[in-house]
Chain A
Amino acid sequence: MSSWHASVRASVGTFLLEVALRGDSGPIAIIGPNGSGKTTFLRFLAGAIAPDLAEFVLGTRTLVNTQTGIHTPMEQRRIGYLPQGYSLFSHLNVLDNVSFGLSTGPGKLIRSERHSRAQDILGELGCSALAHRPAEGLSGGEQQRVALARALVIEPELLLLDEPLAALDATTRRTVRIFLSERLKMFGRPSIIATHDVRDVVALGASVYALDNGRVVQSGSLEDLFRDPASEFIAEFIGPSIP
């Protein structure tokens, strides 16, 4: 069973992120108001933010340790990242988007092989028909699946999802939430999802870290947070009862 832990102090402009989180192979949900540091933390894990002080261990690999000078480059971390809005490569078609991660680094595959692998994963995610469509013009739900396929194709050891359902309309969100929770269960590796919606936490069966102003204000199961919410935001996030 793979586990991870990360403690970080990082300044981004005037914002200070100072948190310590840990998890096992199950999903972790990060909640918090806008500007609480959810995206900053995910970007730190992905390697896009240089911390002042940090340690990040994923499984048996120490990816960051500022005290010993370890800072693994982003391209060597094997972390899948789904940003808000999915950030598909709009100049490529779906197949090339999904196979992008197989065309990089020392282990890159030949074109036919990476397309074949990309087709396989698109098939697994039920969107083979999209393969030759341009990334531009896909619906929100389609983009989400393609972005997930693109992240999963490199077989990441950790998956980061930044508000993956926020860009979807209510109906699509329900469908995609079910799809996502099934996929993350099949993924069987650690995943961290930043969300504004308690239903995502319930669907994923995730443990929760609540952030506010760059710090962890509470952590535990949704039930723990419901019983004794540490802030008004957490109480409002969960609502009068757990959905």
Chain B
Amino acid sequence: MNQRSRFSPISTLAGLLGATLLGLLTVPLIALILSASTEEVLAGLGHPMFLPALLLSLKTTLVSLGLIIVMGTPLAWWIASSQSRATKMISLLVELPIVIPPAVLGVALLQTFGRQGILGPVLGNLGLAIPFTTEAVVIAQIVVSSPFFVQAAASSFRKVDPDTLIVARTLGSSSVASFFRVALPLSMPGLVTGASLAWARALGEFGATLLFAGNMPAETQTMPLAIFSALESDVQLAVVFSLVLVAAGAALLAGLQLLPFVTTAIKRTLP
């Protein structure tokens, strides 16, 4: 009976569908890895476009991630703990950039910070010009990637047992201290996951950055934009740059998988 059900038409079809998707997810990556020889990789890494783009990507994503954590953590805590009716609406607003195409966000950012944008005159009076600058890259990254952090952090904060915080308060801890000493450590795995996803999204950001910040080497040309530029002249160079981002993503994923083991090991070593 078990043998028959294992090979039923439905399970076979389900298996084929799943295998097709798995193929779509993995074959392009394998193709990418196979398309560059070691010599080509080394040559690509030595290309004048590579280092500035990599450093700009690292610099801007770290700054945007820092700002996302600083601004997103209190927002996530508020979303997770507030009982007000506005919470649901604000939660939806935070998630909106996930479903809006990045190019649209780029246009929206121009309409906000551009010379003709709603904040344009104010910024102009202050002598600030944001579009097509490194700051614009950071803003674009914050807008597209912060929802991933806020969502994960809010979900993690919701799992903190309210009684745990009540106990902390009855033990003499202020609400702020209880947040830092109890809620934050208990939610840390979710926050780390959210921060990693946000960083990965920021690292891969292309559409909003291209429209809002442009593609100027050493100033706004991040790795995805360098891939875009390389593709126009040298496909192999684009392949090498892409492999670097694949390696960064893979390292991040591996780090997230190892995180629980590392945390447990650290706990064991503590006195």
Chain A residues with CB under 8 Å of chain B are 43, 46-48, 73-77, 79-81, 83-85, 87, 89-91, 93, 100-101, 104-105, 108, 132, 134, 150-151, 154, 156
Contact = CB atoms under 8 A, between A and B. Distances in A.
Given A101-B171, A104-B177, A154-B172, A89 B166 contact: no
Given A87-B161, A89-B182, A132-B271, A100 B170 contact: no
B67 interface: no
B174 interface: yes
B267 interface: yes
B186 interface: yes
Given A75-B172, A104-B173, A104-B177, A91 B185 contact: yes
A46 B186 contact: no
Contact of A80 (B168, B170, B177): B170
Interface of B is mostly: helix
Interface of B: 161-164, 166-174, 177, 181-182, 185-186, 188, 267, 270-271
Contacts of A75: 169-174
Contacts of A93: 270
Contacts of B169: 46-48, 73-75
A154 to B, nearest CB: 6
**What 4 A-B pairs have minimum CB-CB distances, sorted nearest first?**
A104-B172, A101-B171, A83-B163, A74-B169
Contact of A85 (B161, B171, B185, B188): B161
B164 A89 contact: yes
Contact of A81 (B167, B173, B181, B182): B167
Nearest to A100: B171
Nearest to A107: B172
Contacts of A79: 170
A156 B170 CA distance: 9
Given A76-B172, A105-B173, 15 more contacts: A43-B166, A46-B169, A46-B170, A47-B169, A47-B170, A48-B166, A48-B169, A81-B166, A85-B161, A85-B163, A104-B171, A108-B172, A151-B167, A151-B170, A154-B171
Contacts of B166: 43, 46, 48, 74, 81, 83, 87
Nearest to A45: B170
A187 to B, nearest CB: 16
Contacts of A80: 170
Contact of A91 (B171, B172, B186): B186
A101 to B, nearest CB: 4
Contacts of B173: 75, 100, 104-105
Contacts of B270: 93
A50 to B, nearest CB: 12
Nearest to A153: B171
Which of A80, A87, A100: most chain B Cβ within 10 A? A87
B171 A150 contact: yes
5 contacts: A73-B174, A74-B166, A74-B169, A84-B163, A87-B161
Given A101-B172, A134-B267, A154-B172, A87 B167 contact: yes
B177 to A, nearest CB: 7
A118 to B, nearest CB: 12
A154 B169 CA distance: 12
